[in-house]
Amino acid sequence: MAQTGRLRLGVNIDHVATVRNARGSAWPDPLRAALLAETAGADGITAHLREDRRHIRDGDIEALMAGISIPLNFECAATAEMQAIILRHKPHAVCLVPEKREERTTEGGLDVAGDIARLTDYIAPLRAAGCRVSMFISHDARQIEASAQIGAAVVELHTGLYSDLLAEGHNELAERELDALRKGAELAARLGLEVHAGHGLTYDNVEPIAAIPELAELNIGHFLVGEAIFRGLGPAIEEMRRRMDQGRGPVL
Ligand code: PXP
């Protein structure tokens, strides 16, 4: 089947900041990485300002807003502090994610269905400011329907479980999870949501995800920053782009 359109690649640069912060120095510079990603064909830059500022810091967001010419997708938890930061910068896109201090990364999707009233109010000023608001959720139909109900423009489906299952060799379970992601993408598109996906994507697992026709964007970070050690960030991104295009197949 021909796919519906070109799949955008958002490059997440959080872990450039992780390496910088490990030594408390000014390098490697996340803005420099973002500019390189732009040159290598990224369609957007994603950065997650965590409550504990473990990687991206407030100054990075300022530098990215001023320095890049592709859209910034600002990831954060739905807190009052982050809402004020969003309204100050007005990034192109905002992706709301769950955040627990003790987790290593964003481990589960946001519980939109369990927090409808608060999230509706939370995103209203962001939408009024012109930000495209995205919910980072599992493929659960309840979460997808709730995201549409609160007025989000986008859902980003969590691919972490799929990537973990494949990495652990549970191929059948991974195939089942992939199927659930396909069905989730289909439902979200039917409800008028733009559909993105991300988390744990690598050269080895990206193609079946890229083939899901409803997907408009993938956000990929940790693997690319790791791969950059071996082949450089630009070539690492170019190879991901190539694999995404291969998975996508002919574009209408
Ligand atoms: N999308 C969202 C919403 C995320 O929270 C993350 C991780 O920060 C990613 C995509 C990228 O995941 P990874 O770094 O595993 O590629």
The predicted-structure confidence for 100-122, as pLDDT tens digits, reads as follows: 755 665 567 999 999 999 999 99
User: 3 in a domain, yes or no?
Assistant: no
Lowest mean per-residue pLDDT among 2-16, 33-47, 128-142, 170-184:
2-16
Cβ pair 207, 215 in contact under 8 A: no
- The finding on whether 199 has its CB within 6 A of some atom of ligand 1 is yes
The reply to whether 143 falls in a domain is yes
Given ligand 1 and candidates 46, 143, 215, which is best to mutate, with the most ligand atoms within 8 Å of its CB?
46
Summarised one tens digit per residue, pLDDT across range 203-249 is 999 999 999 999 999 999 999 999 999 999 999 999 999 999 999 99
Q: Quick one: pLDDT at residue 107?
A: 64
219 CB within 6 A, ligand 1:
yes
Q: What is the pTM of this model?
A: 0.95
**Can you name the residues that pair with 11 across neighbouring β-strands?**
45, 220
**Binding site membership of 74 for ligand 1 (Cβ less than 6 Å):** no
| Percent of the chain whose pLDDT exceeds 70 | 95
Peptide bond into 71 cis (omega under 30): no
Residue 137 resides in a domain? yes
Cα separation, 18 vs 233, in Å, equals 15
Given the structure tokens 């290598």, which residue do they identify? 40
Give start and end residues of each alpha helix (H) in 54-159: 58-67, 80-89, 116-128, 141-150
Looking at the structure of the chain, the number of domains it has is: 1
Q: Is the pLDDT of residue 75 over 60?
A: yes
- Residue 78 scores a pLDDT above 80: yes
Q: Residue 90, SS3? A: coil
3-class SS at 136? strand
Cα 105 to Cα 101: distance, rounded to the nearest angstrom: 9
Ligand 1 center from residue 124 Cα (angstroms): 24
For residue 78, which of 125, 32, 13, 33 has the smallest C-alpha distance?
125
> Ligand 1 atom closest to Cα of 222?
14
According to DSSP, the residues that pair with 195 across neighbouring strands are 155, 215
Report residue 195's pLDDT band, with 50, 70 and 90 as the boundaries: very high
Task: Compute the average pLDDT of residues 168-176.
Answer: 97
| In-domain check, residue 54 | yes
Could you give the residue ranges of the DSSP H alpha helices within 156-232?
A: 160-167, 171-190, 206-210, 222-231
Assess if residue 1 is contained within a domain. Answer: no
What pLDDT is stored for residue 99 in this prediction?
A: 85
Residue 15 alpha carbon, nearest atom of ligand 1: 14
Could you give the 3-state DSSP secondary structure of residue 246?
helix
For ligand 1, atom 4: residue with the closest CA:
199
Q: Is the residue at 180 inside a domain?
A: yes
| pLDDT over 50 (residue 63) | yes
Domain assignment of residue 239, yes or no: yes
State the amino acid at position 61 in one-letter form: I
Q: What is the pLDDT of residue 251?
A: 77
Residue pair 184/140 in contact (Cβ under 8 Å)? The answer is: yes
Which neighbouring-strand residues pair with 218? 9, 197
Place of tokens 């973002």: 34
Task: Verify whether ligand 1 is closer than 6 Å to residue 200 (CB atom).
Answer: yes
| Kind and range of the H or E run holding 152 | none
**Domain span at 68:** 8-248
Q: What is the CATH number of the domain that holds 183?
A: 3.20.20.70
Cβ atoms within 10 Å, residue 126: 24
Predicted confidence at residue 3, as pLDDT, reads 45
In this prediction, residue 250 carries a pLDDT of: 83
209 CA distance to ligand 1 middle (Å): 14
125 is a domain residue: yes
Question: Mean pLDDT of all residues in the chain?
Answer: 95
